[in-house]
Amino acid sequence: MDSTISAIKVIQPSGILDGPQANQLRHDINESLEAGARGILVDLQSVTFIDSSGLGGLVMAFKSARATGRKLFFCSVGEQARMLFEITGMDQVFQIYSDQREFGQVLQETPELI
């Protein structure tokens, strides 16, 4: 595997992304950053709903990654999450890919992404 791609940690939450799950997700992201991941890809394929606490957790995780000079990416965003991101303007802030395959292709073509 390409070293650039191996520097990315994939995290796949599932179900409803609410306050408690968002806290766990932030914990997982922070652990991955502390372990040396250069970037985090949050695959939302199995997330059925994101509430305001969940969105807040994603924003805090995004800021934590940015504060350490690392990046947070998203993929496989469902319809409800996409609408939430659009309404709040986070679709203009988050880097969103259709799926892990597209992210991997972009990363291979543009390794400076991370």
Quick check: 65 and 29 in contact, CB under 8 A? yes
Q: What is the pLDDT of residue 111?
A: 83
Q: What is the pLDDT of residue 5?
A: 56
Digitized pLDDT (tens) for each residue of the chain, 114 residues in all: 344 556 899 999 999 999 999 999 999 999 999 999 999 999 999 999 999 999 999 999 999 999 999 999 999 999 999 999 999 999 999 999 999 999 999 999 988 888
